[in-house]
Structure 1
């Protein structure tokens, strides 16, 4: 497990209120594989809050990713849904939990909110 991933999981509870809102209610088990070894994380999401622990347990969904891919996700260099669609990671269970969890990942570097771009363009037209 990389230090960046450790920091990411440690920061989840403090970011939950701004990121989750009322989107998710359940437990997501995240399995990160590296060199024939898998680390397990349980992320219990409730509206506006998150509890994180290490280990396996009863979960509403399970997401598997390589540790290297997860590092790219937490740096904004990769996108979670695209990784699943390309079969770089796997997911089973309640898809709402995965979709809510991916909101914790940053946007790719240089990404702009299209609404802000439209507002600027509309301001120039006046």
Structure 2
């Protein structure tokens, strides 16, 4: 059986690495519960690049979840909702988790953030 999470971070996620802030680097370990085992993926995030390998080394941030939950996230599920439901947990600097979430895809069919305008047509927010 293929590991959708590993495939995502070895391929499509690399295209999203440009969303990491300039000068940001961190390591993230994913501990994913799979039938009969725990899969460990070690991600090195550097400005503009991601490297993924199977490893249980220490990392700046450790994210734990059921493998099926994380497969759902790499298919466009909402990581904030999963965290609030306690489907995923993490330890480490919260900013690392926030930047890590930028690497995950949006919902299927999304095309980036929508611009919000006020009543005069002026853009607000980000």
Kindly tell me: are residues 89 and 23 of structure 1, through their superposed partners in 2, closer, same or farther at Cα, counting changes over 3 Å? farther
Runs of 4+ in 1 over 6 A off after TM superposition: none
TM-score (normalised: structure 1): 0.78
Q: Is 1:56 aligned to residue 56 of structure 2?
A: yes
5+ residue gaps, structure 1:
none
In the other structure, the counterpart of 1:91 is 90
TM-score (normalised: structure 2): 0.78
5+ residue gaps, structure 2:
122-126
Q: Distance in 2 between matches of 1:2 and 1:39?
A: 12
The aligned runs of 1:77-88 (5 Å cut-off) are 78-88=77-87
Kindly tell me: are residues 13 and 75 of structure 1, through their superposed partners in 2, closer, same or farther at Cα, counting changes over 3 Å? closer
Q: How many residues align?
A: 120
Pairwise CA RMSD of aligned residues?
2.7
In the other structure, the counterpart of 1:75 is 75
